[in-house]
Amino acid sequence: MDHPSTIFAPASSYGRSAIAVIRISGSASGESLIRLTTGPLPPPRRLVLRSLRDPSQDVLDQALVVWMPGPGTFTGEDMVELHLHGGLAVRAAVLRALAACPGCEPAKVGEFTRRAFLNGRLDLTEAEGIADLIDAETEAQRRQALRQLDGALGRQVSEWRDRIIDLLAGVEAALDFSDEGDVDDDALDNALYDKARALRDAIAKVLDDGRCGERLREGFTVVLAGPPNAGKSTLLNALSRRDAAIVSPIAGTTRDIIEVRCDLGGLPVLLIDTAGLRDTQDPIEMEGIRRTRARIAQADLVLLLDQGDTSAVEETHPAPSPATLHIRTKADLSPPSPSSAILAVSAITGAGLDTLLDAIARRAADAVGGDNALITRERHREGLTRCRDHLDRLLEGTALPELAAEDLRLAVRALGEVAGHVGVEDILDRLFSGFCIGK
């Protein structure tokens, strides 16, 4: 794809720092470096010390520069990196000088990675791996993002796609030479269905992963629910070790959803404080309760809090599920009986908090699983599900080669959308809008 402009942007964060890095990518990268340094291009891929000058030849900085001719670069284009002193004035002056170079313009968000994708340097799943690596907050998320960046899903999808294309070629041959008697239709059908069934089973196995990859990427969701004044906000603050929620003895203080992200043993956990569940005529509180019930329905784990009034718990959450933990709060005020099986905690004294955190961590570890998840986004799951469904229709349908060929074409297209080979223009802007300017 032709890119008429050469783009530039800081690749390091804004603010005062020891070093600031500016990236340049495009056909005018080399000429821009020559203009800035008033000298010849340095040897490729070697850091050299050069003086950078503006159009009036005033020295802007003493910087390390590196010239990287394409296509063997991140974007697949000619690239330059400038390693400047990290003062705000230095960086601003160099950016102004670059803007004055012919054919150069500031990069848009994610434009470097977008060009790498469009130039075939990485597929869409690897680009998503970069986005996830930037956003990773825990060790487990970092490992999963690196697997995606390394092409774990992309390689598997490519292998499946090649196998389906081979099946499609066989069916097309049956259509093309059906009148010549050279193709054994029975043998072709048997081979086709055996291979299609093996492919279908392999894809179904990957889909049957309990959504552990998405849970790891987005965070294991824990909703604190219960009647008003059950201690939800106080417990949220104690678990997150900060004053994230307002605590008040007035019933109904919490009316909106409050979310806090935590790292439990390297696993991302999203703690959610919610409005107290009760009958009310207050329209604002009613909306809060509606949102609470919606989050309970979506939660990976519900902490159902009470102060010993089990009838209140049953009224507010009448159908506990295996994803529910009953928690007795304010144990410092009313200690539970020794025979009680319900976990008792006190946010004031800290009693039971370590036990509760261990229980949440175990549930999160079971839900997230190991580091082997291939599917990390709903987009991946939708594409693989459509591919599996087309193979199911092939296996359950008639032996007409025309229909078999169409099902295989649709299966190939579904896999192509996962890796970014076809039909992805509508998701590119959404994906790269979440990147940094210089990435």
Band the pLDDT of 176: cuts 50, 70, 90: low
Judge whether 63 is annotated as a binding position: no
The predicted structure's pLDDT at residue 380 = 94
Judge whether 27 is annotated as a binding position: no
Judge whether 276 is annotated as a binding position: yes
Judge whether 121 is annotated as a binding position: yes
The residue whose two tokens read 């144990």 is 331
Rounded to 5 degrees, what angle do the CA atoms 148, 154, 158 make? 165
The predicted structure's pLDDT at residue 232 = 83
Each residue of 80-98: pLDDT tens digit? 999 999 999 999 999 999 9
Judge whether 385 is annotated as a binding position: no
Judge whether 251 is annotated as a binding position: yes
Q: What is the pTM of this model?
A: 0.78
Judge whether 248 is annotated as a binding position: yes
**Contact at 8 Å (CB) between 75 and 115?**
yes
Judge whether 290 is annotated as a binding position: no
Nearest alpha carbon to residue 376 among 435, 418, 410:
418
| Domains in the chain, CATH or no CATH each | 6-122 (3.30.1360.120), 125-209+375-420 (1.20.120.430), 224-368 (3.40.50.300)
Band the pLDDT of 188: cuts 50, 70, 90: low
Paired residues of 50 in beta bridges: 63
Distances (CA, A) of 339 to 307, 330, 342, 344: 16, 17, 9, 12
Both tokens of residue 13? 């964060």
Amino acid at position 418, single letter: V
Band the pLDDT of 281: cuts 50, 70, 90: confident
Judge whether 253 is annotated as a binding position: yes
Both tokens of residue 73? 């670069």
The predicted structure's pLDDT at residue 187 = 42
Judge whether 232 is annotated as a binding position: yes
Judge whether 110 is annotated as a binding position: no
The predicted structure's pLDDT at residue 10 = 94
Each residue of 285-334: pLDDT tens digit? 778 788 888 888 888 999 998 866 554 445 555 445 558 888 888 887 77
Distances (CA, A) of 162 to 156, 157, 165, 183, 310: 10, 9, 5, 22, 58
Nearest alpha carbon to residue 11 among 134, 118, 171, 146:
134
Judge whether 273 is annotated as a binding position: yes
Alpha helices in 28-183 (DSSP H): 29-37, 88-99, 111-118, 124-135, 139-149, 152-176
Lowest mean pLDDT: which of 125-139, 259-273, 315-329, 377-391?
Answer: 315-329
Judge whether 324 is annotated as a binding position: no
Each residue of 125-168: pLDDT tens digit? 999 999 999 999 999 999 999 999 999 999 999 999 999 988 88
DSSP-assigned letters across all residues of 372-422: -----SHHHHHHHHHHHHHHHHHHHS---HHHHHHHHHHHHHHHHHHHTSS
Band the pLDDT of 9: cuts 50, 70, 90: very high
Q: Rounded to the nearest 5°, which phi and psi values hold at 265?
A: 60, 35
The pLDDT of residue 237 is above 90: no
**Contact at 8 Å (CB) between 236 and 271?**
yes
Q: How many CB atoms lie within 10 A of CB 283?
A: 8
Judge whether 172 is annotated as a binding position: no
Exposure string over 391-401, b if 16+ CB within 10 A, otherwise e? bbebeeeeeeb
**Contact at 8 Å (CB) between 171 and 299?**
no
The residue whose two tokens read 């939660």 is 299
Band the pLDDT of 274: cuts 50, 70, 90: confident
Band the pLDDT of 233: cuts 50, 70, 90: confident
Rounded to 5 degrees, what angle do the CA atoms 33, 36, 39 make? 75
The chain-wide mean pLDDT, for the chain, equals: 84
The predicted structure's pLDDT at residue 160 = 95
Q: Rounded to an integer, what distance in angstroms lies between the CA atom of residue 134 and that of residue 130?
A: 6
Q: Rounded to an integer, what distance in angstroms lies between the CA atom of residue 427 and that of residue 356?
A: 40
Q: Rounded to an integer, what distance in angstroms lies between the CA atom of residue 309 and that of residue 72?
A: 67
Both tokens of residue 162? 């090649």
